[in-house]
């Protein structure tokens, strides 16, 4: 479709001041590339979630929750990158912030977590990451943006468009965006972190069977499986809608499928609630 944000952004960068043009085109290309990699990351986790939920005849107890959370995180970051409601200038600072944050963390990782590799290898990795961060700094400057420091004047906290009030923090806040973009899922998103930390409120969701002895017989809570699936489907719809609208395609044929899947799951969840109410399970069964 004509008049899409992608074409508009490329045209704006192409006609920018000649001193800023090359830098802005590079920043724009890096942002588009990051958006594509982000939805590929979501797709990879979503595909893995599908395999865990029965394609091989088995079903995971907890791992689907972590995968669902990753799909949701990728979806809101992707939507933030391709938000057509913000200006070209705001989007440029977002792309620059993502690029800078990635290069900065790569250098931090090289400095902190490579203590057991040979010194020569460690120095090489640090030098490479440091050179990459220097290149990003130069590119941001070339594109007409500055690095804004925190209140202490020590660390980079934001990317600012030179000569304007437009700025973007380099630290990405997932929780707030989750509430804004996946409004039905923020509660699930917060609870799902418990799987990574083995939180009891999540681990206790698995249903304990009747087997006695030192081993546990567990089955997943089907309502929680459905909740994870609903979140992943909603996240997929968000990716489809944002990506299509930004690059000039009609999302409706694809997003309609997501809504149909959620509707089917809603029906199954209501049936499961009725079954569980008729046969309530004990809260905890501890056997010694």
Instruction: Give the domain range for residue 59.
Output: 5-278
- How many domains does the chain divide into? 1
43 inside domain: yes
284 inside domain: no
pLDDT for 157 equals 96
CA distances from 134 to 148, 161, 272 (A): 16, 19, 56
36 inside domain: yes
12 inside domain: yes
pLDDT tens digits for range 115-140: 677 888 888 989 999 999 999 999 99
Do the beta carbons of residue 131 and residue 72 sit within 8 Å?
Answer: no
CA distances from 145 to 33, 160, 161, 220 (A): 20, 5, 4, 50
Both tokens assigned to 172: 């990405």
Phi, psi for 158 (deg, rounded to 5) = -155, 160
CA geometry: angle 212, 213, 214, nearest 5 deg: 135
Distance CA 133, CA 111 (A): 13
Chain mean position to CA 177: 10
287 inside domain: no
Which stretches of the chain drop beneath a pLDDT of 70? Answer: 1-2, 55-57, 113-115, 185-190, 201, 207-217, 280-288
pLDDT for 195 equals 82
pLDDT for 137 equals 97
286 inside domain: no
List, in order, residues 6 or more apart from 210 with CB less than 8 Å away. Answer: 217
pLDDT for 52 equals 87
Greatest Cα pair distance, the chain, in angstroms, is 76
What one-character-per-residue DSSP string does 220-238 give?
A: --HHHHHHHHHHHHHHHHH
pLDDT tens digits for range 162-203: 999 999 999 998 888 888 898 776 566 667 777 877 887 677
pLDDT for 67 equals 92
288 inside domain: no
Q: Model-level pTM?
A: 0.86
């Amino acid at each position: 479709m004509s008049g899409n944000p992608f074409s508009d952004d490329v045209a704006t960068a192409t006609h920018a001041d000649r001193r800023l043009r090359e830098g802005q085109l590079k920043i724009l290309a890096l942002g588009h590339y990051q958006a594509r990699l982000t939805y590929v990351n979501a797709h990879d986790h979503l595909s893995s979630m599908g395999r865990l939920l029965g394609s091989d005849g088995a079903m995971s107890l907890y791992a689907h929750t972590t995968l669902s959370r990753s799909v949701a995180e990728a979806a809101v970051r992707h939507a933030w990158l391709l938000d057509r409601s913000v200006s070209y200038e705001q989007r440029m600072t977002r792309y620059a912030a993502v690029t800078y944050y990635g290069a900065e963390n790569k250098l931090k990782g090289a400095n902190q977590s490579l203590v057991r590799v040979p010194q020569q290898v460690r120095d090489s990795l640090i030098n490479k990451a440091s050179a990459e961060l220097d290149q990003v700094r130069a590119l941001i400057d070339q594109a007409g943006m500055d690095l804004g420091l925190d209140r202490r004047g020590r660390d980079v906290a934001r990317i600012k468009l030179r000569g304007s009030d437009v700025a973007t923090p380099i630290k990405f806040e997932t929780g707030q965006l989750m509430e804004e973009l996946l409004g039905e899922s923020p509660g699930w998103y917060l609870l799902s972190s418990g799987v990574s930390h083995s939180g009891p409120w999540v681990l206790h969701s698995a249903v304990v069977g009747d087997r006695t002895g030192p081993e546990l017989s567990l089955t997943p809570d089907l309502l929680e499986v459905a909740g994870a699936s609903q979140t992943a489907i909603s996240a997929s719809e968000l990716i489809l809608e944002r990506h299509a609208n930004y690059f000039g395609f009609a999302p409706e044929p694809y997003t309609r499928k997501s809504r149909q899947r959620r509707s089917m799951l809603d029906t199954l969840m209501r049936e499961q609630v009725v079954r569980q109410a008729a046969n309530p399970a004990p809260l905890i069964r501890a056997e010694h």
